[in-house]
Amino acid sequence: MPSSAFSYRLSVIGFGIRYPSPMKQPSPPPPRPNPWFLMPRPQPQATLRIFGFPHAGGGSLLFRPWLAQTPSHVEWCLAALPGREQRLNEPPLAQMGPLLEGLALAIAPLLDRPAIFLGHSMGAFIAFELIRKLMARGWAGPQLLAVSGQRAPHLPDPKPPFYHLPDAEFVAAIQRTYQSIPQELLADRALLQIFLPAMRADFTLIDTYRYQPGPPLPLPIVAFGGTDDALVPAANLAAWAQHTRSSFRQHLFAGGHFFLHGVRQEMLTCMLRGE
């Protein structure tokens, strides 16, 4: 943006140099929205931020129902990944590396106060790896990592990969494994085609993700799981304890892979207490 002229006139003795006369400087433009993180309920005086990272095929809508149950000193920052919601026209990212790089650059201005990272399913791996990346760049880390519905990263995936399957088989495999696609979407083939690129990219990301060993995190980890989640048995959830040299707590709730919809308040209370 071109610099505005200063508005005063001055004669310099012996030289007669004139300077522009005083004018009011234009107001700076409003800050550009951060496309990677949505803050649906801004809290300028917040003393804590919770960063939410969604499951495969999901978006910020996963965490929006939590807002009404959250105290006013907490501000939610919801990850907005390419290829969905307001970024539907952008190509989705199918590899962990480029996704983490985009998130790391975008999140930097938001790390000016204490934070909790919460990730469900795919989002748990994203949150974990993003913390490792940011701490390698000098950040002290969040006050808590909360993982939900996901095995510890060093364990093998109990399901076979299906990101490479043809569309019909791919959708059937997702529904058979997670029961996560609404019937209305399954019934509308044209609408389903709009969501398929992001879904396939997400499952490519998690099916090809490989944990690289590193030191345990110097911060607490809280792990949440469903008692009926066949993908993440309690032992695989408990294995997250190996990835912290601080405290570890595990909480199991009735339900399957998406148990969290019925226990938002309980999970929020645990996170805010750090337990």
Taken in order of first residue, the domains within the chain and their CATH numbers are 37-273 (3.40.50.1820)
Q: Are 118 and 146 in contact (CB under 8 A)?
A: yes
Q: Record the pTM.
A: 0.88
Give residue-wise pLDDT tens across range 114-148. 999 999 999 999 999 999 999 999 999 999 999 99
Alpha-carbon gap, residue 245 to 141, rounded angstroms: 13
Report H helices in 51-188: 96-107, 122-136, 167-178, 183-187
β-partners of residue 250 are 223
> How would residue 24 be classed by pLDDT, with cut points 50, 70 and 90?
low
**Catalytic member of 121, 180, 246, 247:** 121
Q: What percent of the chain has pLDDT over 90?
A: 85
DSSP state of 183: H
Q: Are 180 and 57 in contact (CB under 8 A)?
A: yes
3-state secondary structure of 26: coil
| Average confidence (pLDDT) over 235-261 | 98
Q: Are 173 and 165 in contact (CB under 8 A)?
A: yes
Question: What's the pLDDT score for residue 21?
Answer: 44
β-partners of residue 154 are none
Question: What's the pLDDT score for residue 31?
Answer: 52
pLDDT at 176 over 60: yes
Residue 247 bears catalytic tag: no
pLDDT at 199 over 70: yes
